[in-house]
Amino acid sequence: MQAEKIYPRSSDKETVYLKNVITNPAIVVGDYTMYNDFVNDPVDFQKNNVLYHYPINHDKLIIGKFCSIACGARFLFNSANHSMTSLATYPFPIFFEEWGLDVSHITDAWDNKGDIVIGNDVWIGYEAVIFAGVTIGDGAIIGTRAVVTKDVPPYTIVGGVPAKPIRKRFSNDDIAALLKMKWWDWPVEQIKEHIAEIQSGKITDLERKYL
């Protein structure tokens, strides 16, 4: 279980354990996931980086354990959308007072594509943007300033606008083994014991310890 401290390094106020600075119940963050910000106070992540995330829409941001989120990464939620099925893109329901509409229909102003779900051990690069409804698999890497509009498979590197797959990080067999082991769910002491094998980049080293 992660300690309740905010800063992983006592001398570094630009990096936080994200779980310990979140107060919004619609944002769920796993243990040891960290966010770095050298422009704004990283403590303000939910205000500066989670955008158009209004309670009326009931959508969630779910981030797994041991993720690394770089400065300026943004999570763009459903209320940023305008309805594509309407004959007009203008969001009339938002301005219900002006047009004499029922406030209960305010969410008709946008298309609701669902939650944003980030797996475990995901690295999200500098100023990347993740759109509503996207799921990013365990171990994926999101390139700098990528705009992610579609799901990203586990252990896949994506980049560009819109983001597209560049390559898989490991072979299909190694990916399957990692997804089976789920090292991020191990007890802390077990992870500490096997950091050398995890860092080695050789799945066989970790498998020998795991099996």
Q: Is the peptide bond before 153 cis (omega within 30 degrees of 0)?
A: no
Give catalytic status of residue 82 as yes or no. Answer: yes
Cα dist. 211→120, 198, 205 in Å? 21, 14, 10
User: Please, where are the H alpha helices in the chain?
Assistant: 45-48, 96-99, 172-181, 188-193, 195-200, 203-210
DSSP H or E segment with residue 174: helix 172-181
Token match 């992540």: residue?
45
Question: Among residues 53, 58, 82, 194, which one is catalytic?
Answer: 82
Q: How far apart are CA 15 and CA 109, in angstroms?
A: 36
**Packing angle of the helix pair 172-181, 203-210 (nearest 10 deg):** 30
Q: How far apart are CA 145 and CA 159, in angstroms?
A: 8
Q: Which residues are catalytic?
A: 82
